[in-house]
Amino acid sequence: MIDKSNIEKLVAEFIKGTGIFLVTIRVSSSNRITVLADTIKGITIDECVALHRYLEKHLDPNNVDFELQVSSPGLDMPFGVIEQYYKNEGKKVEVVDNDGMKFTGNLKNVTNGGFELETEVRIKGKAREMKDISFNFDQVKSTKEVLVIK
């Protein structure tokens, strides 16, 4: 079986100073390696291809057979690293807290400790109004970008 920590080291070597950040690495029992990476502006196909070639070159194919896939995380995937929060600041997201409550709103004021969500709430006896809700990262089960079609 392929050692995940070896892949993490190789990815770290490749992305150093490039603006690319690692989202996740998955290695299945059948040695299917999936590397998800991104940039603040969105990773390009050329960047994915370059990372794929680098990993393919540095992983020893004589040692064990493997299948390698390098891509960006999809819209349906929850955020895995803080850089994704920075990337999506100002965009509409869905947050599920540890109690299972869902909140939808605009992501703002991201820090290393948490973020704020500007969301529309119904006030008793009034129409809806905008309210900022603060979250610490340890209070959040998942966060996903919401696709807005204009």
pLDDT per position as a tens digit, 100-150: 999 999 999 999 999 999 998 777 777 788 889 999 999 999 999 998 888
Rounded CA separation 6/16 (Å): 16
Six-digit token string for 77: 């995937």
What confidence tens digit (pLDDT) does each residue in 52-68 have? Answer: 999 999 887 666 788 99
- Based on the fold, state whether residues 95 and 65 are members of the same structural domain: no
Residue 150 included in any domain: no
| Parallel/antiparallel/unpaired status of strands 102-108 and 92-97 | antiparallel
Q: What range does the domain containing 46 cover?
A: 4-71
Q: For residue 45, what pLDDT band results from cuts at 50, 70 and 90?
A: very high
Residue 138 included in any domain: yes
Rounded CA separation 10/132 (Å): 40
Q: What's the pLDDT score for residue 120?
A: 85
Q: Report whether pLDDT(22) > 80.
A: yes
Q: What is the mean pLDDT of the chain?
A: 91
On whether the CB atoms of residues 25 and 3 are closer than 8 A, the answer is no
Strand, helix or coil at 87? Answer: helix
Give the chain's domain count.
2
- Based on the fold, state whether residues 44 and 97 are members of the same structural domain: no
- Based on the fold, state whether residues 100 and 126 are members of the same structural domain: yes
Q: Which amino acid, 120?
A: E
